[in-house]
Amino acid sequence: MICEDYLTGAHSMDVPQETVDKEVQAILDKIKSKPDFNPNQLFDPEKHLAWKDEYFETTKTFTLQDLGITKTHTKPINNFGATYPFPLLTEDAIDIMKWEAFQPQVVKKYARLTNPDFSLKTNRHDFHIAGYPEEGHAPFTKSVYDHPRLKEIFSQLIGMDVTTTYGYDVNHVNVALADFDLPLDAPLYPEPEKGEDGKPIFKAEEVGSILGQHYDSTSIACVIMWECPQDKGGETVIITGDETPLVIPNIARPGYCTLLQARVIRHIATKPNTNSNRIATVAGYYPTAPILDNSCLTSVRPSILPRSVHDEFYTEWFDFRFKQLERVLADKRKKLWDAYKKGEMFDQKGVIEFSKECQQYLFDSWREMEFANNDPYPPPLFSKPYSELTYEVGGDDSK
């Protein structure tokens, strides 16, 4: 049954006033107390970019093959897998982004608690904020993602030109705040068991996580750290091709960034295992070329993710998907006329294949909407081993 709450703004999942008054206010107070803090500016790479071009050489990157992933559930955009964290933005830049996200009126309108049904060990301090930069509440944040320099850096690391997806999935903020009623930095869970190499053994079922084991709904996830304790959890954990976890080391400094082809790599965002803040943002990217993207609604549809406010979210989603289709159709029309003018034979088979892909794209745009489908979440796909998936990486498109 469609539940009225998510149709009318998911207000049952509003962030409690107590959290806004205490923990959120403390974040704002801390930023405001910095003498050089100035929120009234736009992104300037000279001032706010921590990236240096030498990092193209020094940043550790993995292809899908490096991660042992040879089968996926949908077509990857290319062979890019993931990067280790690299310095992207300065701490000053992160302060302004945080300032914009945690304004009480933004939290009130755009933040919703994490859905407790799909997360482990979450509470009133765990929430998401999204959609606010697109609606004019965060000029600095918007100017960061709009800047061509960021796109250039990411495109080079990923090995293909990429750009930001629709507004709701650009700068989605994952927030897990320390509880002021408990001792700060106190351990929340027992120390994890250590393996023979002295490193903690990662057990997916034992860590707290903002979202359990999952695929993202956008092609590429760009995760930018805002705040996190050092060596105390909060890592992104990749499930590799042989189903073993690869813990991406948590360079906990603000402004560090990690890229992940999250649509085809199963992963977990862990919570810190101490009573501390972990705040990170995720921005979705997809190929700039006129090709049909592989994004979906699975983990972002409003009935699953309360921060996706129904009317705004679906309007943005269909604006994005229809625009994509328009671009691809325009490109194809041009190619058909060009071929005709060159005297080439009309490619019936090619046009049939192309039309089927467009049909599938339109179908995929709506098939996960609540009105059409209310399948349980998380879907069985999120726990299916890679070996049971059907798309061969680098293989023939037809599987």
Binding piece for Fe ion, criterion CB under 5 A, among 3-11, 147-155, 210-218, 386-394: 210-218
Q: How far is the CB of 269 from Fe ion (least distance, A)?
A: 6
DSSP string for 162-183? EEE--GGGSSEEEEEPPPTTS-
Q: How is residue 281 written in tokens?
A: 């943002």
Residue owning tokens 């998936």:
389
* CB of 94 closer than 8 Å to CB of 255: yes
**211 vs 328, which CB is nearer to Fe ion?**
211
Binding piece for Fe ion, criterion CB under 5 A, among 126-134, 202-210, 212-220, 243-251: 212-220
**111 vs 248, which CB is nearer to Fe ion?**
248
109 burial type by CB count under 10 A (0-12 exposed, 13-18 middle, 19+ buried)? middle
**366 vs 382, which CB is nearer to Fe ion?**
382
Round to whole Å and give the CA distance between 128 and 276: 17
* CB of 116 closer than 8 Å to CB of 18: no
* CB of 84 closer than 8 Å to CB of 99: no
Q: How far is the CB of 246 from Fe ion (least distance, A)?
A: 15
Q: How far is the CB of 66 from Fe ion (least distance, A)?
A: 19
Q: How far is the CB of 7 from Fe ion (least distance, A)?
A: 25
**49 vs 157, which CB is nearer to Fe ion?**
157
* CB of 193 closer than 8 Å to CB of 207: no
CA atoms within 13 A on the CB side of 398: 2
Round to whole Å and give the CA distance between 86 and 230: 15
* CB of 285 closer than 8 Å to CB of 222: yes
**100 vs 216, which CB is nearer to Fe ion?**
216
**49 vs 306, which CB is nearer to Fe ion?**
306
Q: How far is the CB of 298 from Fe ion (least distance, A)?
A: 11
- Verify binding: residue 216, Fe ion, rule CB under 5 A: yes
Q: How far is the CB of 244 from Fe ion (least distance, A)?
A: 19
Task: For 196-206, give one letter per residue: b (16+ CB within 10 A) or e.
Answer: eeeeeebebee
**140 vs 154, which CB is nearer to Fe ion?**
154
Residues β-bridged to residue 245? 239
Q: How far is the CB of 264 from Fe ion (least distance, A)?
A: 12
Q: How far is the CB of 239 from Fe ion (least distance, A)?
A: 12
**88 vs 265, which CB is nearer to Fe ion?**
265
Q: How far is the CB of 217 from Fe ion (least distance, A)?
A: 9
Query: What number of chain residues touch Fe ion (CB under 5 A)?
Result: 1
Residue owning tokens 């903690």:
200
163 burial type by CB count under 10 A (0-12 exposed, 13-18 middle, 19+ buried)? middle
Round to whole Å and give the CA distance between 212 and 294: 21
**171 vs 275, which CB is nearer to Fe ion?**
171
Nearest to 236 by CA among 253, 251, 219, 226: 251
Binding piece for Fe ion, criterion CB under 5 A, among 105-113, 126-134, 211-219, 287-295: 211-219
DSSP designation for 24: I
Q: How far is the CB of 241 from Fe ion (least distance, A)?
A: 18
What three-state secondary structure class fits 182? coil
375 burial type by CB count under 10 A (0-12 exposed, 13-18 middle, 19+ buried)? exposed
What single letter denotes the amino acid at residue 253?
Answer: R
Binding piece for Fe ion, criterion CB under 5 A, among 190-198, 214-222, 310-318, 373-381: 214-222
Residue closest to Fe ion (Cβ)? 216
Round to whole Å and give the CA distance between 356 and 398: 13
**96 vs 234, which CB is nearer to Fe ion?**
234
Q: Kindly list the residues in this chain that would bind Fe ion in the complex (CB under 5 A).
A: 216
